[in-house]
Amino acid sequence: MRFAQKVVIITGGSKGIGAGCARIFCQEGGLVVICARREQEGTALAAELTRQGPGQCIFIGADVSQPEEILELIEETVRRFGRLDCLNGVRINAVCPAGVDTPLLHEWAATLDNPEEAIDMVHRLHKLGRMATSEEIGRVCLFLASEENSFITGQDIHVEGGATLDY
């Protein structure tokens, strides 16, 4: 397990890409704090991921647009787990996903005249012929946060299935 007993906070973790990241970090043994504004969804996901293991997952509600709530989130994480590992030695990389199959994408498609055609179009935009899963984005985030990544710094990591190759 690549993240065994390491503490990580995942903001926006109750659904979509954040939920995929939480799932991957928990599968790799992490002690995961899901942070989001949607308490019901976050609590349910934390319970599900803890049941599946091998890591543990808790939910702490916070609005990260509010600086005081960020401080409370960090303090509560440290109170519960004794530390926060994922910020140690931060190398300031950015994951740049495109065309990820998330609930938000489906909500957008539902506002259009032909939602199925819109989803199919997004699939076709990628050279790989499909959208990414949130878990695929989570695996990139896990790698960047892990000790396996010791020398990548200041980079934008494009995870987009070849969607931008023709631009």
For the chain, the structural domain boundaries read 7-95+131-159
Q: How many CB atoms lie within 10 A of CB 60?
A: 20
Which CATH architecture group holds 7-95+131-159?
Answer: 3-Layer(aba) Sandwich (3.40)
Please name the amino acid found at residue 128: L
Contact assessment for residue 55 and residue 32, using Cβ atoms and an 8 Å cutoff: yes
Output the average pLDDT for the chain.
Answer: 93
- Tens digits of per-residue pLDDT, 27-83? 999 999 999 999 999 999 999 999 999 999 999 999 999 999 999 999 999 999 999
pTM above 0.85, yes or no: yes
pLDDT computed for residue 88 by the predictor: 52
pLDDT tens, 126-137? Answer: 999 999 999 999
Over pLDDT 70: what percentage of the chain? 96
**Where is 114: in which H helix or E strand?**
none
| CA distance to 1, 50, 100, 136, per residue, from 24 (Å) | 11, 12, 16, 9
